[in-house]
Structures are given as structure tokens and as C-alpha cells.
Amino acid sequence: MSYVDEVIERVVRENPNEPEFHQAVKEVLESLRVVVDANEEKFRKDALLERLVNPERQFKFRVPWVDDKGQVQVNTGYRVQFNSAIGPYKGGLRLHPSVNLGIIKFLGFEQIFKNSLTGLPIGGGKGGSDFDPKGKSDREVMAFCQSFMTELCKYIGADTDVPAGDIGTGAREIGYMFGQYKRIRGVFEGVLTGKGLTYGGSLARTEATGYGLLYITQEMLKSKGMSLEGKTVVVSGAGNVATYAIQKAQQLGAKVVTCSDSTGWVYDPDGIDVAALKEIKEVKRARLTEYKNYRPNSEYHEGKGVWTVKADIALPCATQNELGIEDAETLVANGVIAVAEGANMPTTMEATEYLQKNGVFFLPGKAANAGGVATSALEMSQNSERLSWTFEEVDSKLQGIMINIFHNLDDAAKKYGFEGNYVVGANIAGFEKVVDAMNAQGIV
Ligand code: NDP
């Protein structure tokens, strides 16, 4: 049995009930086959892949807090410190009822390669909790965040592990967590990114993931002699990534006609109104059913459906495995040119392969959504320097990083004979740097 197959089998055996983690490991290792096969003897002797798929450390902890009725609630908190070969652990905190160890491990594993691709010195980690901020009062969210950080603060620090936002963790949650960290540890340091602008946050961090997604998509289209100008785009999600992806796509001349949340989706033939979306989601924290009040020409539908709308470009920006094989078939039948992942692993492996086989340009999340973590690393730099850069400075660095990522993965794919396969390109480009650093640091 090949070394890759052996390690995949071992991961499945030793980590039962973690399907998302299995999926992420398979996707990465399958596309690294060409590199691993060429170095099989050395990698096997060094147990390189076994070390890569085992987190350096993982924490699971109790998070008790009191709700508004005086009832004590108990959630589970996680932080997985996956790989610190190239820098301090870096990766977001997800607050969603679906969170479990397997999901945090899949995200942490992906984060290693994503962070490497940015070219910045950050290792891979991820964390979160099964707490659901939806429908909770501000006081309840604060109580949860304080309890969560009371435990988490033992394991993180500006030079060791720097968490950020993710699903369910926005500016409000980061603020409460930062306050509690400072209170317990007694230091004002850049221990979290995505902070508010008045206490160490970076301009353009809020926009970075969505904007970065469009910068890399634009660069890819440019390499094919195309552009975003005049294209119709379908987006899923209505959170941080989706909102700023829609905004930047429109600034670059495309028309975005859909968005969605966990209960339904919107079709707006005139193009999504970003100001309305922000008011509904960021200010009122309401459902997308409200969108029709702002745009009477739009349609609201319950359930899933954005991928049924005819478009040139599809940007999944909500959550994992939200674009399956049937969706991919519909997109291809409707003539989609490109799919770029704003979310982490939103496309199933089967759907990814189908899109690629049918000539759709496919940019995987670990490259396409790396703008968020890259800008988080820029926030860390500003915190260390005790300086704040302008929006334009950060945005132009972000553009440079995304353009660079595209060319790195494009070159890696070509070098190994997989021209146009950006999944292989991204995994190889991310992997090479991490492996080099791991080898240099000995067996640790
Ligand atoms: P948000 O919480 O801001 O938004 C998530 C959106 O997806 C919401 O519209 C939410 O609906 C919807 N959603 C969440 N879970 C589900 C589900 N199980 N089924 C259907 N819809 C769902 O998160 P972000 O925008 O920050 O993150 C979106 C994705 O992008 C995630 O995969 C995340 O890991 C990834 N990502 C985020 C980065 C960042 O900087 N924020 C960086 C890189 C990747 P509802 O409004 O109903 O909750």
C-alpha cells in the first residue's frame, strides 16, 4: 500500500466519527501524491505525514455560563494547535451548534496550508464552541465569551497562538474575549485579531476575506484573458465573507444576484443591495426574509437554492459541504465559468472533481479565502509595531498577497504537470514550505 493510502487509512481508524477531518486529510493527501511518491522513502522514515496529520496539541474544556433566566448553561470549548513549523498558531474561533472536535480539526488542518500560502510567518490552529450566539442577548453572549476566555487564555498569547473570528464570532464576540484576556493576564497585546479599530484592530480586516476572494478570482480570470466586468455572480451566505465578497464583486463590475442564510435565500435580479444586507445581518441580526422590505423586486425562497440560478461565477461563502454533486451538475449545465470558495471546504470532493472535469476553473478555499488570515497577520504586525496602517496600505498589501498566492499555486500546478488544477497547486505550494521548516527543526 502506498504511504499516502496508509496514512489516510490510519487517520480514519484513529479518529472515528470525524468525517470532516477525514475529508480534509484525504483531499490534501490525494493531491500531494505526486510529491509524496517522489520522496516516499525519506518521508516514511521521518513519519512526516503522521506528524502532519496529528495536531501538536488540542484542548477541550467546559464552558459554564448563566443565561438571562438564571439558568446555568454548559457548552464545550476547543482549541486545536495543529502545526507551528512556520510561526505561532493562527486560526479562527467558530461559534455554532454544529461544532465538534472533528470540525475544528478539519479547519485547523486546512489552516496549516492556507497560512503557508500567504507567505507570512503563521502556523495553523483553530478553535470554537458549540455555543450558538443566535437569539442570545448581549449579556448572555458576554457571559459565554468571558467564561470561554477564562479557560482559553491559559493556552494562547501574542507569540504563541493568536485566534480570530469565524462563523458566529464577529466584532462583538472578539471584543468581549479580548477584554477578558486583558483582565486575567494583565497584558494589552495582540492576542486576538479582528479587534475593533479603537483597541488595536486593523483597517480592512473586516473586508479582507471577501475582498481577497475577489482579488484572486480576478487574477485567475485575467490569466485566461477574462475579467469580472459584466459577469453574473451567485453567492451563498450572508455573513462576513459573503457581504464583502458581494461588495467587491460589484465594485469590480460584476452583478451579484443571490445571497443566503441558514434558513433561506434571496434572488435579486437587479443586484444585491449591500447596504440593506448589512443592516439586516450586522445591525438587526435578523433573517433574510426582511430583504424584501428593502427590495420589493427581489424573491425570497425557503431552503437551499442559490446554485440553481444561472451565473458565470459561483462563490460559496457560507459553510462546509454546501455545494454538492447535484449543485455542481446544475452549475455546469448553466454554463458556469469559475467557482471560488469563500468558505472553508464548501464544495464536496465529488462536486470539485465534477467541476474540474467539466472545465470549470476551481479555486479552493485554502487559497481563495486566505485574505482574512493574511490581513490578520498584518494586524499582528501593526500590533507589534504599535502602529496603524491606512486602509489603502492594508488593502494594497492584501491585493499583492492574493495575486502572489494565485501565481504560486498556478506555478506549482504547472511544475508538477497539473496545469490548471489549483487544488493540487495550492496543496503542494502550501505543503512545500511547511515540510521544509519541519525538516529543518528536527523530529519535534
Ligand atoms: P458568518 O457567521 O459571518 O456567516 C456565515 C453565513 O453562513 C451566515 O449567513 C450563516 O447563516 C450561514 N451559515 C452558517 N452555517 C450554516 C449552515 N450550517 N447551513 C447554512 N448556512 C449556514 O461567518 P463568516 O462569513 O465569517 O464565515 C463563512 C465561511 O467562511 C466559513 O466557512 C468560515 O470558516 C470561512 N472563513 C471565514 C473567514 C473570516 O475572515 N471570517 C476567513 C476564512 C474563511 P445565518 O445568517 O443564518 O447564521
- Does residue 126 have an active-site annotation? yes
Question: Would 55-188 and 208-368 be classified into the same CATH topology?
Answer: yes
Torsion angle, alpha carbons of 157, 162, 167, 170, to 10: 70
Topology at the third CATH level for domain 55-188: Rossmann fold (3.40.50)
Per-residue pLDDT, averaged over 164-183, amounts to 97
What atom of ligand 1 comes closest to residue 319's alpha carbon?
32
pLDDT at 212: 98
Task: Compute the Cα dihedral for 275, 279, 280, 283 and give only its sign.
Answer: positive
Residue to mutate (ligand 1; options 213, 319, 327; most atoms within 8 A of CB)? 319
pLDDT band for 23, please (50, 70, 90 cuts). very high
Ligand 1 mean position to 169 CA, how many Å? 10
Give the Cα separation of 346 and 274 in Å (integer).
22
pLDDT score for 200:
97
Phi, psi of 12 (to 5 degrees): -65, -40
Q: What is the mean pLDDT of the chain?
A: 97
Distance from residue 322's CA to the centre of ligand 1 (Å)? 11
What average pLDDT does this structure show over 347-361? 98
Instruction: Read off the pLDDT of each residue in 387-407 and give the average, rounded to a whole number.
Output: 98
Report the pLDDT value the prediction gives residue 55, as an integer from 0 to 100: 98
pLDDT tier for residue 91 given thresholds of 50, 70 and 90:
very high
The pLDDT score that the predictor gives to residue 141 is 98
pTM, two decimal places: 0.95
* 432: number of Cβ within 10 Å: 16
Q: Which three cell numbers stand for residue 24?
A: 480534509
- Please provide the DSSP assignment of 177-226 as one string: HHHHHHHHH------SSS--GGGT--TTHHHHHHHHHHHHHHHHHHHTT-
Residue with cell 485566461: 224
For position 423, what pLDDT does the model report? Answer: 96
CATH class of 208-368: alpha beta
How confident is residue 261, by pLDDT bands cut at 50, 70 and 90? very high
Could you report the per-residue pLDDT of 97-151, keeping only the tens digit for each? 999 999 999 999 999 999 999 999 999 999 999 999 999 999 999 999 999 999 9
Residue of 105, 126, 231, 366 marked catalytic: 126
Q: What is the pLDDT of residue 298?
A: 98
The residue ranges of every structural domain in the chain are: 1-54, 55-188, 208-368
Burial 11-36 (b: 16+ CB within 10 A, else e): beeebeebebbbbbbebbbebbbebb
| The pLDDT of residue 188 | 97
What pLDDT score was predicted for residue 318? 98
- Calculate how far, in angstroms, residue 274's C-alpha sits from the geometric centre of ligand 1: 17
Residues with CB under 6 A from ligand 1: 96, 98, 165-168, 209, 237-242, 261-262, 317-319, 342-344, 369, 372
Structure confidence at residue 34 (pLDDT): 94
| Phi and psi torsions of 79, nearest 5° | -145, 120
pLDDT value for 438: 98
Strand, helix or coil for residue 63: strand
